[in-house]
A and B are shown apart, each in its own frame.
Chain A
């Protein structure tokens, strides 16, 4: 018997994806490496736990994860006020939307497809097994549940964004009402939390854990409900599981009904977003990076300054001003929250492991900013200036973002780790130096792999090069630490040593790769 079109499409896409894995060895190797890394993390964590290990309070973990789910939910659902979200690709729009298949069935196909994507988004959680196992005795099944909770939060948030967009995009009054409700809930919770914390400033962390596990937070739509389910599973509280599950299932059903029954003609709403997503994906395939900003406020026009290579710097300043919605990008905020959560749990072990972990997160999150975008346009190669000058002016603009990110992170960590102002300054400098070390390694990759597009090879080489480049600073810091020399506090001299080594090595590497634009190829 012939399958119906939707089932056929889903099955054939899955089959072709698996076949593709074997046709492209690089993808297969990538998948194997990713799985191997998860296994290595799992094994290394297991070895360090035995029957005498005393675990930390699991309520700390449930509070942190609930916070993460809520933040992810809020950030993604907020898209509904801008460009909406889409569960459809361009072939879906062109072929399914025009076919005689009922829009409701097409919608369910989109929802099903989205579930898979949401699951993939949370894979980074699997790499957290080691420390979660050592500190909280989390087993692999529980880790999978944490991952599912994360994916469910992303999924529910995307559904919410789609509903918000569908019902408000054509009516400013409705949009204002929805925004008041959306931000009203967030602000009410934020005020409540601040008031609660202000009552007892000596025990901020303990109070954060209490707040994170409170019934009030578990009643917060989306992320709070799913955090409640996780809370119930990890702390064996059936009522919490039931409450969270009922609310989440009812919410998903309600949102789906709203989309499919209240407004059958949702095609127009997702068309624009699907087209934008398609352009982004096509640009990515070609190695280009597109601006994703929605409406742009032009403001003051003109570069006002800059000649020769420095014209790039002033152009970037202008572009950043127009592109910026938040000081930090959403991905950067997530990495920062994860780092802060890690610091809360690891505060007794001192700054060493926390700095190492935040640097590891930084390696993944450091972007070359507008330099990457420039490499996709011809002008950086055409402008008659030396390659070295053009590189320096092209990476200069990232400084402000790096500084703000480092300052927010270490000022937040200062409260958790009770750091002195001197410590904070030196840690910010050390993090900044790592930002440029990562940038220098990215330039090295452009120099070495300018024409190669294998992401696996590039990622492996990137991580290896950062590790090699960071080693001298780490060794010098350890040596200084062992001498027992102290300046103002224990941290100043070792982290200053790291900073100096990183800065010198970064400059040397950028200088050695100064001809990168001669050898790079426009993608």
Chain B
């Protein structure tokens, strides 16, 4: 389970996240929606322990910067985190060694699902942007984390990979994992989220539960998103 309590992140005088609080339970998929610069990536990076912040973030009760919390976390960055001089297979070997785990079968199945197995001997720098993104996702999943945060995971992926990652979201959810996804592609997330937070100017402008859970079908997520974001930009 992921808990974010009163998190504020400033870059100099710019407030990127302003006193944000929310939680995501095991078996739940939460999404962060918002226009560019709303603060989605910042909160994802704070959760992943990559940024300093004010407030508290806990993973299964552990402080997010503790070793116990790191063991539970998987992070898919917005820009693929790939080493130029390691082969595809070596990336997974490195992560497995660093996290002290060994499951060759699982490594292979991940690569096969993302159509990377036949490219296992290619260097990171030889991969296209889309393939690097797929490898980055594999690296985040290979140690079987309990909490997985995805920062714009669908950007640059081909239709097959999008289908695979959507299936993986469902599998992880059924497996009881905690999933947080940041995205600005509303149409690509319509069918699998449980709770959506719409971000504007570093804050949550609205939170919506999926209609199948709440029975609320008055306004679609897309309508709500545009009502909030367009109203804000008109006011500005």
Chain A residues with a Cβ under 8 A of chain B? 290-291, 293, 296, 298, 301-303, 306-309, 311-312, 314-315, 318-319, 322-323, 377-379, 381-386, 450-451, 518-519, 521-522
B81-108, CB < 8 A from A? 81, 83-87, 89-90, 93-95, 97-100
Task: Please name 18 pairs of A and B residues whose Cβ atoms are closer than 8 Å in the assembled complex, sorted by A.
Answer: A290-B84, A301-B87, A306-B97, A306-B98, A307-B97, A307-B100, A315-B83, A378-B48, A378-B77, A378-B81, A379-B94, A381-B48, A381-B50, A382-B70, A383-B99, A384-B70, A451-B52, A522-B51
CB distance from B88 to the nearest CB of A (A): 10
B115-143 vs A, CB cutoff 8 Å, 1 = contact: the mask equals: 00000010101000000000000010000
By the criterion CB–CB under 8 Å, are A291 and B93 in contact?
A: no
- Compute how far the CA of A426 lies from the CA of B95 in the bound complex, rounded to whole angstroms: 40
CB distance from A298 to the nearest CB of B (A): 7
- Compute how far the CA of A323 lies from the CA of B125 in the bound complex, rounded to whole angstroms: 12
By the criterion CB–CB under 8 Å, are B50 and A312 in contact?
A: no
By the criterion CB–CB under 8 Å, are B52 and A302 in contact?
A: no
CB distance from B84 to the nearest CB of A (A): 4
CB distance from A385 to the nearest CB of B (A): 7
The residues of B that contact A290 with a CB separation of less than 8 Å are: 84
Chain B, interface residues (CB within 8 Å), range:
20 to 34
B37-54, CB < 8 A from A? 45, 48-52
- Compute how far the CA of A291 lies from the CA of B124 in the bound complex, rounded to whole angstroms: 11
Given contacts A381-B49, A451-B52, contact A303 B90 (CB under 8 A): yes
CB < 8 Å: which of A308, A309, A377, A385 contacts B83?
Answer: A377
CB distance from B75 to the nearest CB of A (A): 6
Q: Is B179 an interface residue (CB 8 A)?
A: no
CB distance from A101 to the nearest CB of B (A): 32
The residues of A that contact B75 with a CB separation of less than 8 Å are: 378, 382
CB distance from A305 to the nearest CB of B (A): 8
3 A-B pairs with least C-beta separation = A384-B70, A311-B97, A522-B50
Name the CB-closest residue of B to A386.
Answer: B67
- Compute how far the CA of A382 lies from the CA of B147 in the bound complex, rounded to whole angstroms: 13
The residues of B that contact A384 with a CB separation of less than 8 Å are: 67-68, 70-71, 99
By the criterion CB–CB under 8 Å, are B125 and A301 in contact?
A: no
The residues of A that contact B180 with a CB separation of less than 8 Å are: none
CB distance from B85 to the nearest CB of A (A): 4
- Compute how far the CA of A386 lies from the CA of B71 in the bound complex, rounded to whole angstroms: 12
The residues of B that contact A312 with a CB separation of less than 8 Å are: 98
CB distance from A310 to the nearest CB of B (A): 8
- Compute how far the CA of A381 lies from the CA of B50 in the bound complex, rounded to whole angstroms: 7
Most buried by A among B77, B87, B97: B97
CB < 8 Å: which of A315, A378, A382, A386 contacts B94?
Answer: A315
Q: Is B65 an interface residue (CB 8 A)?
A: yes
By the criterion CB–CB under 8 Å, are B81 and A308 in contact?
A: no
Name the CB-closest residue of A to B96.
Answer: A311
